[in-house]
Amino acid sequence: MRIFCASIATETNTFSPLRTDFSDFKESFYAPPGQHPVTPTLCSAVFTEARLRAAKEGWDLIEGTATWAEPGGLVNRETYENLRDEVLGQLRAALPVDAVILGLHGAMVAQGYLDCEGDLLARIREIVGPDVIIGTSFDPHSHLTELRVSNADVIVAFKEFPHTDFVETGRSVVDLVLRTLRGEITPTKAVFDCHMIEVLPTSREPMRSFIDRAKALEGTGDILSVSFIHGFMAGDVPDLGAKVIVTTNNNPTKARETAETLGHELFGFRGTTRPSFVTPDVALDQALASDANDAKPIVLTDVWDNPGGGVPGDSTILLRAAMARGLSDFAVGTVWDPMAVRICISAGEGATLPLRFGGKTGAHAGAPIDAEVRVKTIRRDSWQYFGDSIVPLGDCAVIELPGGGEVILNSNRSQSFDPSLFSNMGIDPTAKKYLFIKSTNHFYDAFAKIAGEIIYVDVHGPYPSDPKTNGYRHVTRLLWPIVDDPFAAKAS
């Protein structure tokens, strides 16, 4: 048995001032055939899981390229086509194969391609023909298109947000493909369109219980897999929005009925799922009140200046507000500013200098901060954990502000996943009164373990956070909250 494996992944914010090219993939993660590390990345856990099964069972795994770019703006057309054709060429060279297993994100958009993953899957199907099994993993913050559903036999998305189950998902894809090849199952899929755009964290109710019940369905009767596509509201594509995909063992009626039941239930959660997002002033009031009760550390997360959503991550708005309040015992992780990092490296540890940092990439991220700073720490090729994965932060510098706060400046854009981003830079996160981070919810699993309190801060900036005013050009379907009840509107 021969199975080919590859991964091309990124998440595209079509509203972002940034653009994505090959340098972004190479900076984040690029592994040519046979060079994938022993640890998985968010979208390439199919590699490490397939290696384990191949070693145990004695079949041939042919590894293609695995690559990931940190979420950003529109992908350069040449970059997408070159990466796609690189993988397709590797697949042709590997023929004949019995199956193809992919690790995809599902929200990549390139110049001229609104559905990169659908394009890739369709071209793979054309190469291998109708009888070869194709399986893929997806991030739930993706777009589920008919082109993908019709060309892939097995589709499994991460269930958790934060995505703590990406390894489990890779394992599920590999297992379902192998069971299909051995004639044990016949995957039959059904999709239900929930017609909504919402933030759906599974770290809190009502999503927590909903996901637990969905997990319990898998393996009962003919149900093989249940996945939820949350959608990615910063992607202006026709298939934007939440969907449910259920896979059964040759039972299309069960797949359709289960997807519809779960889909209507998910739609019923609209407007109730996200945490309370408060303004910077309210957040700081709350933090100061918690400080009086000796809660430590208080984690304040800027949910919209989140590089994981494709924006730069160089907003200064919340930091300026904290400085204006006179807060001092805090650490910020991180402000993306490669130029400022380079200046700090040139100055060296211990140097004091006037530095302008942050607020460089757009009109909505606040003005740059000018301050006399001390360069406390410099780390080349710093990193942080995200579950079993290692996320590069590039060259980083810790600067001390005149009022006493510390700011990590990084050269590789990344959201805040784990307290290791602080500890790897010589900052004890548990010793600070306040931690300012940038993430919508991926931080939660790791930071909740150390936080006295978590405050979600709604700082308006470059992320298109309100579907009613985002001005989508490619979305023609009726979606909540743009329409109050899209199902009733469709019926009429």
Per residue in 103-120, pLDDT tens?
Answer: 999 999 999 999 999 999
The percentage of residues in the chain with a pLDDT greater than 90, rounded to a whole number, is 95
Name the band, by pLDDT with cuts 50, 70 and 90, for residue 462: confident
Tokens of 315: 């907003």
- Predicted pLDDT of residue 292: 60
Q: Are 479 and 490 in contact (CB under 8 A)?
A: no
C-alpha distances out from residue 411 to 3, 24, 357, 444, 477, Å: 37, 12, 12, 23, 39
Give the number of other Cβ atoms within 10 Å of residue 359's Cβ.
Answer: 22
Amino acid at 184: E
C-alpha distances out from residue 318 to 270, 362, 413, 454, Å: 28, 16, 18, 15
The SS3 assignment for 307 reads helix
- Predicted pLDDT of residue 33: 98
Q: What is the mean pLDDT of the chain?
A: 96
Q: Where in the chain is the domain with CATH 3.40.50.2300?
A: 2-189
b/e per residue 442-460 (b: at least 16 CB within 10 A): bbbbbbeeebebbbbbbbe
- Predicted pLDDT of residue 293: 65
- Predicted pLDDT of residue 291: 64
- Predicted pLDDT of residue 175: 98
Segment 19-52, tens digit of pLDDT? 999 999 999 999 999 999 999 999 999 999 999 9
The SS3 assignment for 264 reads helix
Match 């109730």 to its residue by tokens: 272
Name the band, by pLDDT with cuts 50, 70 and 90, for residue 83: very high
Segment 243-253, tens digit of pLDDT? 999 999 999 99
CA-based Rg of the chain, rounded to a whole angstrom? 23
- Predicted pLDDT of residue 281: 96
Segment 340-356, tens digit of pLDDT? 999 999 999 999 999 99
Which among 385, 465, 469 has a CA at the least distance from the CA of 419?
A: 385
Overall pTM > 0.85: yes
> In whole angstroms, what is the distance from residue 202 CA to residue 210 CA?
8
Per the DSSP assignment, residues forming a β-bridge with 135 are 101, 154
Dihedral in degrees, nearest 10, Cα atoms 336, 339, 341, 347:
-160
Name the band, by pLDDT with cuts 50, 70 and 90, for residue 278: very high
Kindly state the DSSP code that residue 347 receives in the 8-state scheme.
Answer: H
> In whole angstroms, what is the distance from residue 152 CA to residue 457 CA?
39
> In whole angstroms, what is the distance from residue 135 CA to residue 12 CA?
22
SS3 content of the chain, % helix, strand, coil (to 5): 30, 25, 45
Tell me which H or E stretch contains 194. Answer: none
Q: Which overall architecture, per CATH, does domain 2-189 show?
A: 3-Layer(aba) Sandwich (3.40)
- Predicted pLDDT of residue 107: 98
Segment 466-477, tens digit of pLDDT? 999 999 999 999
Is the model's pLDDT at 290 over the cut of 90? no
Low-confidence winner among 133-137, 334-338, 433-437, 457-461 (lowest mean pLDDT)? 457-461
- Predicted pLDDT of residue 363: 86
Q: How many residues does the chain have?
A: 492
Name the band, by pLDDT with cuts 50, 70 and 90, for residue 461: confident
Name the band, by pLDDT with cuts 50, 70 and 90, for residue 364: confident
Is the model's pLDDT at 388 over the cut of 90? no
- Predicted pLDDT of residue 429: 97
∠ CA 9-12-14, nearest 5°, is: 160
b/e per residue 133-170 (b: at least 16 CB within 10 A): bbbbbbbbbbbbbebbbebbbbbbbbbbbbbbbbbebb
Is the model's pLDDT at 490 over the cut of 80? no
Q: Are 40 and 336 in contact (CB under 8 A)?
A: no
